[in-house]
Amino acid sequence: MSMKQYEFWFVVGSQFLYGPEVLETVARRAAEMADWMNQSGKLPCKVVYKVTAKTQQEIADVVREANYQPVCAGIITWCHTFSPSKMWINGFVDLQKPYCHFATQYNREIPNEEIDMDFMNLNQAAHGDREHGFIAARLRMPRKVIAGYWQDEKVLRQLGDWMRAAVGVAFSRQLKVMRFGDNMREVAVTEGDKVEVQAKLGWQVNTWPVGTLVETMNAVTDVEIDELMNLYRASYDFATDDLETVRYQAREEIAMKKMLDKEGCMAFSNTFQDLYGMKQLPGLASQHLMALGYGYGGEGDWKVAAMTAILKAMSEGQTGGTAFMEDYTYHLVEGQEYSLGAHMLEVCPSVAAEKPRIEVHPLGIGDREPPARLVFEGHAGKAIVVSLIDMGGRLRLICQDIECVKPIMDMPNLPVARVMWRAMPDLTTGLTCWITAGGAHHTVLSYDVTAEQMRDWARMMDIEFVHITKDTTVEGLEHDLFLSDLAWKLK
Ligand code: MN
């Protein structure tokens, strides 16, 4: 399902105390608020007003329906008044969808002349929200609290960002990952417990033979390759005359896409150590599949493949870009400390500053023919890098704020796509923190998804979240990790 197809159900908390007229007014206002927010164009998904709930049964019913309907990606509650919270307990205990407590009220202002007890009865969120907040705290519910006036830009942005994170949850819970070959031999950080990941995050991670991919490649027709070559020509500059090599990448892409689509997989991994029967490591092929929204991980890294797909799903329709990335090398000149990110081949062109070039160069590792790949520079701007690691018994999501820059040198002999950035709080402190937390060399780099969205996603998924920011210190992080380790062992 695409972003626009998802709905968030707007559930109003109330009670019978103030009579039917108040309830009718509130129901009308809630529908009006939902319409207005939808028409604002600021939200990625639709808000659907469902019910003004006065009883435990109404709440249990709407929760049951929300759990059941795939189109519902979460519920948003608003308490215009005091909605006694014991009637919410049974529904909340059963809720399986993301939940946002929207602390707002219909009126922006307190009307000096008109305010009377009728006005007060309609606008009692100030204490209704506290009763509502208590029960979610008491039940230890994963939730997002958004407070402010429902027409304010900042509030709508927060709500929209949370919706995208919740869509990331829905996407994750049905994500299938196709592995071609195993993880790179002896590598630890790309490993993980696939059973735990499926139980926690929903991912189905399975393997398919490289031989089946080769058979599928052999069945690809020249007409299919011609069509994809036309698409490459429309999207990229050809900086090579070796069209046969580019056509071979097209053949690989078409075959991989056929297998992914047949199984409903939105992410895949492969490894240069298992390309039996293939002439080239997929480069351009994997890059273009990522541009289409598929997640990818190199060297069998199915965790980063899945995370790339999830961040792409969360940022659908946004234009900053999201890519599989690897920390490659450093520039350690004082005052100019930068990381250079790249990969053997496979960086997604969605992050490119200019039109990518198709080039053909030999590959330093492996024993295959020189592959075609897209070469470009990443653009400048604020971004995050994200790494999911398996700590044994739990998953930890590490997120670092970064500032991407136009690469400070041309690097004319570097035959791969590259992105240069300044890690927060600075290269060496940020690096110390990253290593202390156990973050991988593979990451997802995104200009669109924010750290707050990843925090929301991790909370909804009930996994550990570590954020390295401009204010992070090594001492502070070590302290947090120590406490977090204790807490997660108790959970
Ligand atoms: Mn790698």
- Per DSSP, the residues of 1-19 read --GGG-EEEEEEE--STT-
| Interatomic CA distance for residues 378 and 274, integer angstroms | 29
| Interatomic CA distance for residues 470 and 2, integer angstroms | 34
CA of 414 to the centre of ligand 1 (A): 16
CA of 77 to the centre of ligand 1 (A): 43
CA of 139 to the centre of ligand 1 (A): 42
In 3-state terms, what secondary structure has residue 240? Answer: coil
CA of 278 to the centre of ligand 1 (A): 19
Give this prediction's pTM. 0.98
| Interatomic CA distance for residues 68 and 70, integer angstroms | 6
- Give the count of alpha carbons within 13 A of 249, CB side only: 27
CA of 440 to the centre of ligand 1 (A): 10
CA of 325 to the centre of ligand 1 (A): 8
Residues near 318 by beta carbon (within 8 Å), at least 6 away in sequence? 448
Residues near 397 by beta carbon (within 8 Å), at least 6 away in sequence? 386, 387, 388, 454, 457, 458, 463, 464, 465, 466
Q: Is 337 exposed, middle or buried (0-12, 13-18, 19+ CB in 10 A)?
A: middle
- Nearest one of 184, 178, 239 to 209, comparing CA atoms: 178
CA of 443 to the centre of ligand 1 (A): 9
CA of 324 to the centre of ligand 1 (A): 9
Q: Is 228 exposed, middle or buried (0-12, 13-18, 19+ CB in 10 A)?
A: buried
pLDDT tens, N- to C-terminus, the chain (491 residues): 899 999 999 999 999 999 999 999 999 999 999 999 999 999 999 999 999 999 999 999 999 999 999 999 999 999 999 999 999 999 999 999 999 999 999 999 999 999 999 999 899 999 999 999 999 999 999 999 999 999 999 999 999 999 999 999 999 999 999 999 999 999 999 999 999 999 999 999 999 999 999 999 999 999 999 999 999 999 999 999 999 999 999 999 999 999 999 999 999 999 999 999 999 999 999 999 999 999 999 999 999 999 999 999 999 999 999 999 999 999 999 999 999 999 999 999 999 999 999 999 999 887 899 999 999 999 999 999 999 999 999 999 999 999 999 999 999 999 999 999 999 999 999 999 999 999 999 999 999 999 999 999 999 999 999 999 999 999 999 999 999 999 999 98
pLDDT at 366: 78
CA of 329 to the centre of ligand 1 (A): 13
pLDDT at 365: 81
CA of 186 to the centre of ligand 1 (A): 13
CA of 404 to the centre of ligand 1 (A): 20
- Nearest one of 133, 141, 144 to 13, comparing CA atoms: 133
CA of 196 to the centre of ligand 1 (A): 23
CA of 326 to the centre of ligand 1 (A): 6
| Interatomic CA distance for residues 102 and 31, integer angstroms | 15
CA of 281 to the centre of ligand 1 (A): 13
CA of 382 to the centre of ligand 1 (A): 23
CA of 251 to the centre of ligand 1 (A): 23
255-293 burial: b if 16+ Cβ within 10 Å, else e: bbbbbbeeeebbbbbbbbebbeebbbbbbbbbbbbbbeb
For the chain, the maximum distance between any two Cα atoms, rounded to a whole number of angstroms, is: 82
